[in-house]
Amino acid sequence: MYVLKDNWSTYWDGFLGTLELTVWASLLALVLGFVMASFRVAPVGSLRVFGTVWVTVLRNTPLTLLFFAVLLGLPRFGLVLPFQVFAVLALGCYTSAFICEVLRSGINTVPKGQGEAARSLGMSFGQTLSLVVLPQAFRSVIPPVGSTLIALAKNSAIAGAFSVTELLGTYKTINELGYNIVWTFVWIAVGYLIITLAISALFHLLERKWGVAR
């Protein structure tokens, strides 16, 4: 208990850092995932190719390598931003590929007749997707989207290796002060557990309200 009490400010800063990374990267992943899922099912071939390449490259690239590419590569091209922003970009873009595939699988569960009926009424592709298809698809993808964002929260631990303030990185500071490393990691695990359980509870509420009845 003394580990937490004596190093509360360090833990709190790390917890807030991980929470901030998770929130902003999740928002970015959801937006990009929606855009790429739209591209994947678009009637325009070039958009489908772009969406496919985006998903294929990011899903098959190790997240650590993506962090190196974003945090160390982009500044060489004149793009200089705080490491926190770079970490959000890396996490958000990486996770967007998985969100895209989750949304696309949900879109595929919607009967084709729904889209055909919408188009017969004169709706454009964008209107059909946003007003008819996605609202139905969303109901079936709530649990997997939640699981993907929980994975994002845990993946944020990689950011600590790139000078970004986050929860796992606090062990270095606390260990240097001579505290028990086991209890240090116990309290770090508790912090991650709080965040992931909060995400799980949020999506459980969404599923109860809008999810498909099983």
Write the pLDDT tens digit of every residue in 138-180. 888 888 999 999 999 999 999 888 878 888 888 777 777 777 7
How big is the CA angle at 50 (ends 99 and 25), to the nearest 5 degrees? Answer: 35
Mean pLDDT estimate for the chain: 85
Residue 119 has pLDDT above 60, yes or no: yes
Q: Which helix (H) or strand (E) holds 211?
A: none
124-136 residue pLDDT tens? 777 777 777 777 7
Query: Using CA atoms in the order 74, 76, 82, 83, what is the torsion angle rounded to 10 degrees?
Result: 70
Predicted structure pTM score: 0.88
The alpha carbon of residue 101 and the mean position of all alpha carbons in its chain are separated, in whole angstroms, by 13
> Which tokens go with 157?
């631990």
> What whole-number percentage of the chain has pLDDT above 70?
97
Confidence of residue 78 (pLDDT cuts 50, 70, 90): confident
